[in-house]
């Protein structure tokens, strides 16, 4: 599909006719939450607090770690990508980086919208593309840490 065809289909399939399709309530709740982020200040949730503790422990033990910010459907990402919240989220992840042990890779723009079945789940062709990107990143990471 072209970008415009995919975007129209995305809107129809995931977001339209909410009154007659109560099964998509969860999808609408996700969209609302992503849009609400644009009005929020970033505060690291418990999962990010534990990620920080984990990376600190790995750094002390000299065990390398790679953190990957996975791709998201560009249609969903545009709802909040330029927000203060998201920029602060990325800065938080980057703050965990250390020169030799902790690496951060930002893959948020690595796939086209057609590579997603919804906001963040890959289609099969999208996963095939990401498999090689993950593999290349891990191989490069391994070369740096050996």
What tens digit of pLDDT does each residue of 39-80 get?
Answer: 999 999 999 999 999 999 999 999 999 999 999 999 999 999
Question: Measured between alpha carbons, how far is residue 76 from residues 40, 44, 63 in Å?
Answer: 17, 21, 34
Q: What are phi and psi of 63, to 5 degrees?
A: -105, 120
CA 124, CA 115: separation in Å to the nearest integer? 8
pTM of the model: 0.85
Q: Given pLDDT bands bounded at 50, 70 and 90, which one contains residue 143? A: confident
């Amino acid at each position: 599909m072209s970008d415009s065809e995919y975007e129209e289909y995305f809107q129809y399939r995931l977001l339209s006719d909410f009154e007659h399709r109560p099964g998509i309530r969860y999808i609408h709740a996700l969209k609302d939450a992503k849009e609400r982020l644009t009005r929020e200040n970033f505060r690291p949730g418990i999962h990010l607090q534990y990620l920080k503790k984990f990376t600190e422990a790995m750094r002390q033990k000299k065990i390398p770690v790679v953190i990957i910010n996975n791709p998201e459907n560009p249609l969903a990402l545009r709802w909040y990508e330029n927000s203060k919240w998201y920029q602060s989220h990325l800065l938080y992840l980057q703050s965990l980086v250390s020169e030799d042990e902790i690496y951060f890779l930002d893959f948020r723009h690595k796939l086209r919208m057609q590579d997603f079945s919804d906001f963040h789940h890959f289609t099969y062709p999208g996963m095939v593309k990401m498999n090689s990107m993950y593999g290349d990143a891990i191989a490069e990471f391994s070369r740096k840490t050996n």
